Structure 1
Amino acid sequence: MNCPVCSTRLLRGSYEDVQVRACPQCRGMLVEKHKADVIKRRGERTTDELKDEVLQRLQTDTTSQLSCPRCRHMMRKSVVRCGTEFHLDSCPKCRVVWFDGGELAMFQLAYEETDQGREGLEAQRRHKEMTPAEREAFEENVAHLPEEKPLLTELFEGLLFGRGRRRFSFWD
């Protein structure tokens, strides 16, 4: 599989303990969409470490249309805004995302700027500071929480029983 930007062979690698395909030439990364969602929530790197990565790896944002390295179909462009803006290329067929060099760290920074991102990082920080006994009690309490209804069930019940509309996004 070759890089969609510079045609260099993509190498298997790891980013925050998640498997990715990386280009050694232009530093871009091909990541499965669900894995990109995992990476953005990780919170293992500090904001300063992510900013340093952006400064060291940032390449020119690819504005031209790219072909998916897996299936060769044209990828869709979407704009991410986080102080600056950049384009992500995604393949709806293969469900992969192409990040130009430095953009994966920018993607994480963009998530950290959201309310959901800040709350998630704070919850991770508090969890790490728990004693083993506190962590065990917490996990016991979580195990006893009622299960949420699946999203589709909730949506259909809303339609059937006239409940208000719910806004949702597949890419938060």
Structure 2
Amino acid sequence: MDNTRRRAYIKEKLQQADHRLRGMDLAKECGVSRQVIVGDMALLRARGMDIISTPRGYYLKKEKKACLRILVCRHDREGTGKELTAIVRAGGIIHDVRVEHEIYGELHGQLEIKSEEEAVSFVRAMQDSGSPLLSDISGGIHTHLVETKTEEEMAQVIHALREIGVLYE
């Protein structure tokens, strides 16, 4: 498959997908390396596709959001699982995490955690890797862009974070 046909194929797959597409799977389907897929995604983004990249795969960003809020939280490494689980149990989707760095300014990481299973998977990966969290560099203070379907669900997310003592107010 040549470059043009491969990128058209990836574009079509992204537009039709109802789940995240793994880079390794796309690479196998197209007979190329994962790094080639990474490059293709960068080119498709440069051409205007709003492609989101997560550790669990690629997907197209949806145009319409119901209710979005930036929530400020503070906790240690052990509080991560409680925080993520509380948000998704209350009906929230955690799009990202952001921290302020004294040299680089705002740093962020894409999360796209939509379920309790994904929250558990993130915590497991965090524990297995031993990698520092972004919030480690900011004394535990960080923000999440959270989406819910309704204002009532957002109020439930906020209440849940207060209940476990991680909402920074």
TM-score (norm 1): 0.25
Q: Determine which structure has the larger helix proportion and give its number.
A: 2
Structure whose CA Rg is larger: 1
Q: Determine which structure has the larger strand proportion and give its number.
A: 2
TM-score (norm 2): 0.26
